[in-house]
Structure 1
Amino acid sequence: MFTPIKNTTVSEKVVEQIKEMLLRGNLNKGDKLPSERQMAETLEVSRSSVREALKELEIMGLIESKQGEGNFIKDNFEDILFEPFSTFFLIKESNAEEILELRNVIEKGTAVLAAERITMEELEDIKNILTTSENSRSEDELAKLDVIFHYKIAQASKNFLLQSILNAVSSLIEASIKDIRKNIMIEEKHKEIIKAQHLDIYKALESHNPKASEKAMTDHLNFVNNEMKKSII
């Protein structure tokens, strides 16, 4: 399964070989890796090089170490981007406008794909979110439902990369939605506008109309963006 390595950058070569095996399907999610000793013997490298490579792979989020069991390929890779993205945005101190621009780019795309791929079960989930929102008077609950509404659409896109990017910046988007609601929900008419826009998005998804879904999402995000700018000025 493994091939011998003879190079000065040994640990990097070990990392590259394991990544290549994942791409080719020789290793799959949840697979247990051989022991450090077995890998060192097969690859003809030192155990310290293998150990260093395994640490690098764990930092990347590709493998996980289970106490007393060994090293495994992770069952899911959805959080691979989370730490580097979160750290980057924390250092960069991205402002509300940048986050809204990011949402605009990502969520219009997910709405288009979701319209084509959404299932009846997913539509029912989104409908239930809207029904619960309609009956709720708690702003905390409404903010949480708002976040879930947008994530459900991303999931319905069936695009793993888009979902991963959205997950990677999830804390920022959640904070963004809470800030938006805090700033623009002071006026009762804004609450009704947001509810109506969410319903328009749902109806467009229900009709499996990509253009209508994109327009409904665009109208919603443009409204939010414009109102946020007014509150900042």
Structure 2
Amino acid sequence: MENNTKVYLEIVKQLRDMITTDGLKTGDKIPSERELSERLNFGRSSVREALRGLELLGLIETRRGEGTFIRDFRGHQLVQLLSTFILQDEKAIRDVLETKNFIEMDCLRLAVQKIDDKKIVNLKNWVDQQEVLKDDEFFNQIIEIADNHLFSRIWSILKEYYHSQVSINHVYHRKDYLILLAALTEKNEEKTLSAYCHLRNLSVFNDKY
């Protein structure tokens, strides 16, 4: 079983490298099972199993008579599929939320260093113009200012995982976002994190900051 797993992972790794090397994008056709077997130097049965696994995950799709194509897996389908396996208990959901919070805090630390007067004004104007403030949209802008692609990708995935399992919408107040923005304006990391903890009602962090 261990050897089969290693073979599977190696095929998936080589497929990923091949897709990058060939410049393939969503909707593009990948080589046939026979061609992949020859190109990757693995047996056709092993390649077939790897392709089947990727198809079950929604990363590729096979169209009868046409071939196998790369799917757009950035949407909700993959998130919902994975959440079926990893978010089935309260502890897992809490872990995801806690990790999401830590990423937001790290992005605020970066934003303190990178934000300028123009971005502050734009963000304040955006907050003032919203009839209903959506927390995800606010922090998406903070993460854009932080300008860290990896944080952005992880945060987006965790956000979708969490929302796919928890239907409760927390109510946040405009004044708390404005307090957070005021701390960012001062470029004061301690005040910024304290304002974030107040917004999220994180008593443990509030004790620290």
Interval containing the TM-score (normalised by the shorter chain): 0.5 to 0.7
Distance 1:156 1:177 in 2: 28
Distance 2:201 2:122 in 1: 26
Match for 2:152 among 153, 163, 167? 163
Mark the CA change 1:157 to 1:91 in structure 2 (over 3 Å): closer, same or farther.
same
Pairs aligned (count): 194
CA-to-aligned-CA distance 1:54-103 (integer Å, 9 cap, x gap): 23344567x4336436333x677687983576346631224997666434
Q: Any gaps of 5 or more consecutive residues in structure 2?
A: 204-209
Mark the CA change 1:94 to 1:215 in structure 2 (over 3 Å): closer, same or farther.
farther
- TM-score, normalization: structure 2? 0.65
What letter corresponds to residue 164 of structure 1 in structure 2?
Answer: R
Corresponding residue for residue 199 of structure 1: 178
CA-to-aligned-CA distance 1:201-223 (integer Å, 9 cap, x gap): 3345456x3xx256324323235
Ranked by relative contact order (alpha carbons within 8 Å, sequence separation 6 or more), the top structure is 1
Corresponding residue for residue 215 of structure 1: 191
Contact kept, 8 Å, 1:82 with 1:167, in 2: the verdict is no
Contact kept, 8 Å, 1:81 with 1:168, in 2: the verdict is no
Distance 1:129 1:154 in 2: 15
Distance 1:111 1:81 in 2: 28
Taking the TM superposition and a 5 Å limit, the aligned residue runs for 1:67-82 are: 67=63, 68=66, 70-72=68-70, 82=79
What letter corresponds to residue 68 of structure 2 in structure 1?
Answer: G
Mark the CA change 1:152 to 1:48 in structure 2 (over 3 Å): closer, same or farther.
same
Distance 1:173 1:214 in 2: 29
What letter corresponds to residue 154 of structure 1 in structure 2?
Answer: I
**RMSD over aligned Cα atoms:** 4.2
Corresponding residue for residue 191 of structure 1: none
Match for 1:113 among 93, 107, 110? 110
Match for 2:141 among 152, 156, 159? 152
Taking the TM superposition and a 5 Å limit, the aligned residue runs for 1:1-233 are: 10-21=7-18, 26-28=21-23, 30=25, 32-58=29-55, 63-65=59-61, 67=63, 68=66, 70-72=68-70, 82-83=79-80, 86-87=83-84, 90-94=87-91, 101-117=98-114, 126-133=123-130, 136=131, 141-142=132-133, 145-171=134-160, 172=162, 175=166, 178-179=169-170, 181=171, 194-205=173-184, 209=187, 212-213=188-189, 215-225=191-201
Q: Helix, strand or coil for the counterpart of 1:70?
A: strand
Q: Which moved more, 1:76-85 or 1:88-97?
A: 76-85
Contact kept, 8 Å, 1:82 with 1:169, in 2: the verdict is no
Q: Any gaps of 5 or more consecutive residues in structure 1?
A: 1-6, 186-193, 228-233
CA-to-aligned-CA distance 1:6-32 (integer Å, 9 cap, x gap): x8764443223224556xx52546165
Mark the CA change 1:95 to 1:196 in structure 2 (over 3 Å): closer, same or farther.
farther
Shift of 1:110: 0.9
Instruction: Work out the percentage of aligned pairs sharing the same amino acid.
Output: 29
Contact kept, 8 Å, 2:104 with 2:143, in 1: the verdict is yes
